[in-house]
Structure 1
Amino acid sequence: MPVSAASSAREILTGLHEVMAKRGSAQTKLDKVVDLIAEAMRSEVCSIYLLRDNAMELSATHGLRKEAVHVTRLHMGEGLVGTIAEEGRILNLAEATTHPEFVYRPETGEERYHSFAGVPIIRRESPIGVLCVQHADPRRYDDVEIEALQTVAMVLSEMIASARLVDGARAALRNAGMQRMVGLKLVTGMAKGVAVFHQPKVIIEHTVAEDTEAERTRVYSAFRRMREQIDHMTREAEFGTAGEHNEILETYKMFAYDEGWSRRINEAIDSGLTAEAAIERVQQRTRARMREIDDPILKERMHDLEDLSNRLLRIVSGRMGTAAQTGLAKDAILIAKNLGPAELLEYDRRRLKGVVLEEGSLTAHVTIVARAMGVPVVGRIADVRHIANEGDMILVDGDNGSVMVRPNRPMTNAFDQRMSTSAKRRAEFAAIRALPAETKDGDRIGLMVNAGLAEDAAMLEATGADGIGLFRTEFQFLIAATLPGRESQLRLYRSVLEAAGDKPVVFRTVDIGGDKALPYLSEDEKDESENPAMGWRALRLSLERKALMKAQARALIEASGGKTLRVMFPMVSEPWEYEEARALFEEQLAWAKSAKRAGPKAVEFGAMLEVPSLAETLDLLLPRVDFLSIGTNDLTQFLFAADRADPRLAERYDWLSPAILRFLRRVSTQAKEANVPVRVCGEMAGRPLEAMALIGIGIDNFSITPAAVGPVKAMVRSIDAQAVRTKVEALLAKPPANMRKSLGDWAKRHGVSIG
Structure 2
Amino acid sequence: MPEPLKLKGIPASAGYAEGPLFNLDPVVARYRRKATAVDERLALQTAIGTATGRLAKLIQATEGDAADILEFQLAMLEDDALTGPAFAAIAAGQPADAAWRQALDAEIVGYETSDQDYFRARAVDMRDIRDQVLRALTDDCAAAAPAGAIFYGEDIAPTRFLETDWSAGGGIALKAGSAASHVAMLARSRGVPMIVGLGPVGLGASPAHLAGVALLDAEHGGIVLGPTRAEIEAFRQSSSSFAARRDRAETFLARPAVTKAGTAVRVQVNIADPSDVDGIDVSTCDGVGLMRTEFLFGKMLPDEETQYRAYRKVLEWAGDKPVTIRTVDAGGDKPVPGFTV
* TM category, shorter: 0.7 to 0.9
> Does the CA contact (< 8 Å) of 1:333 and 1:355 recur in 2?
yes
* Equivalent in the alignment of 1:226: 51
Distance 2:34 2:76 in 1: 36
Decide whether aligned partners of structure 1 residues 223 and 429 sit closer, same or farther in structure 2, where only a CA change above 3 A counts: closer
Q: Deviations over 1:589-641 (max 9, x none)?
A: xxxxxxxxxxxxxxxxxxxxxxxxxxxxxxxxxxxxxxxxxxxxxxxxxxxxx
Decide whether aligned partners of structure 1 residues 342 and 241 sit closer, same or farther in structure 2, where only a CA change above 3 A counts: closer
Once the two structures are superposed, the pairs formed by residues 220-619 of structure 1 within 5 Å of their partners are 220-234=45-59, 236-239=61-64, 246-247=71-72, 250-251=75-76, 254=79, 258-264=83-89, 269=94, 278=98, 282=102, 293=113, 295=115, 299-300=120-121, 302-320=123-141, 322-323=142-143, 326=144, 328-351=145-168, 353-381=170-198, 382-384=200-202, 386-387=204-205, 392-452=212-272, 453-454=274-275, 456=277, 459-460=280-281, 465-474=284-293, 476-477=295-296, 482-511=300-329, 521-522=337-338, 524-525=340-341
Decide whether aligned partners of structure 1 residues 505 and 193 sit closer, same or farther in structure 2, where only a CA change above 3 A counts: farther
Decide whether aligned partners of structure 1 residues 474 and 396 sit closer, same or farther in structure 2, where only a CA change above 3 A counts: farther
SS at match of 2:281: helix
* Equivalent in the alignment of 1:180: 6
SS at match of 1:437: coil
* Equivalent in the alignment of 1:573: none
Distance 1:230 1:378 in 2: 26
Residue 400 of structure 1 deviates from its aligned partner by 3.1
Once the two structures are superposed, the pairs formed by residues 1-12 of structure 1 within 5 Å of their partners are none
Decide whether aligned partners of structure 1 residues 230 and 509 sit closer, same or farther in structure 2, where only a CA change above 3 A counts: same
Decide whether aligned partners of structure 1 residues 257 and 182 sit closer, same or farther in structure 2, where only a CA change above 3 A counts: same
Distance 2:123 2:262 in 1: 54
Distance 2:126 2:253 in 1: 42
> Does the CA contact (< 8 Å) of 2:3 and 2:226 recur in 1?
yes
Residue 202 of structure 1 deviates from its aligned partner by 2.7
Once the two structures are superposed, the pairs formed by residues 70-89 of structure 1 within 5 Å of their partners are none
Residue 253 of structure 1 deviates from its aligned partner by 5.2
TM-score normalized by structure 1? 0.38
Q: Deviations over 1:479-524 (max 9, x none)?
A: x664333333333333333333344433344445666665xx2385
Residue 267 of structure 1 deviates from its aligned partner by 5.3
Residue 420 of structure 1 deviates from its aligned partner by 1.2
Decide whether aligned partners of structure 1 residues 344 and 265 sit closer, same or farther in structure 2, where only a CA change above 3 A counts: farther
* Equivalent in the alignment of 1:586: none
Residue 196 of structure 1 deviates from its aligned partner by 2.2
Decide whether aligned partners of structure 1 residues 474 and 372 sit closer, same or farther in structure 2, where only a CA change above 3 A counts: farther
> Does the CA contact (< 8 Å) of 1:186 and 1:362 recur in 2?
yes
Distance 1:408 1:260 in 2: 53
Any unmatched runs of 5+ in structure 1? Answer: 1-174, 526-755
Residue 260 of structure 1 deviates from its aligned partner by 1.0
> Which letter maps to 1:406?
G
Decide whether aligned partners of structure 1 residues 388 and 257 sit closer, same or farther in structure 2, where only a CA change above 3 A counts: farther
Distance 1:218 1:181 in 2: 43
Decide whether aligned partners of structure 1 residues 235 and 292 sit closer, same or farther in structure 2, where only a CA change above 3 A counts: closer
Return the match for 1:192 from 18, 35, 45: 18
Distance 1:352 1:311 in 2: 25
Q: Deviations over 1:258-284 (max 9, x none)?
A: 1213444665746xxxx66x3797489
> Does the CA contact (< 8 Å) of 2:288 and 2:324 recur in 1?
yes
> Does the CA contact (< 8 Å) of 2:17 and 2:216 recur in 1?
yes
Distance 1:501 1:490 in 2: 16
Distance 1:315 1:354 in 2: 27
Q: Deviations over 1:508-541 (max 9, x none)?
A: 44445666665xx23854xxxxxxxxxxxxxxxx
Q: For the pair shown, which has the larger CA radius of gyration, 1 or 2?
A: 1
> Does the CA contact (< 8 Å) of 1:231 and 1:253 recur in 2?
no
SS at match of 1:222: helix
Distance 1:505 1:436 in 2: 19
> Does the CA contact (< 8 Å) of 2:65 and 2:275 recur in 1?
no
Q: Report the number of matched residues.
A: 335
> Does the CA contact (< 8 Å) of 2:111 and 2:119 recur in 1?
no
Q: Deviations over 1:56-105 (max 9, x none)?
A: xxxxxxxxxxxxxxxxxxxxxxxxxxxxxxxxxxxxxxxxxxxxxxxxxx
> Does the CA contact (< 8 Å) of 1:243 and 1:476 recur in 2?
no
Decide whether aligned partners of structure 1 residues 433 and 504 sit closer, same or farther in structure 2, where only a CA change above 3 A counts: same
> Which letter maps to 2:6?
R
> Which letter maps to 2:75?
E
Residue 343 of structure 1 deviates from its aligned partner by 3.7
Q: Deviations over 1:396-438 (max 9, x none)?
A: 3334333333333222222222221111111221233344433
Distance 1:409 1:283 in 2: 50
Distance 1:369 1:255 in 2: 29
SS at match of 1:506: strand
Residue 227 of structure 1 deviates from its aligned partner by 3.4
Any unmatched runs of 5+ in structure 2? Answer: none
> Which letter maps to 1:414?
A
SS at match of 2:64: coil
SS at match of 2:19: strand
SS at match of 1:445: coil
> Which letter maps to 2:338?
S
SS at match of 1:258: helix
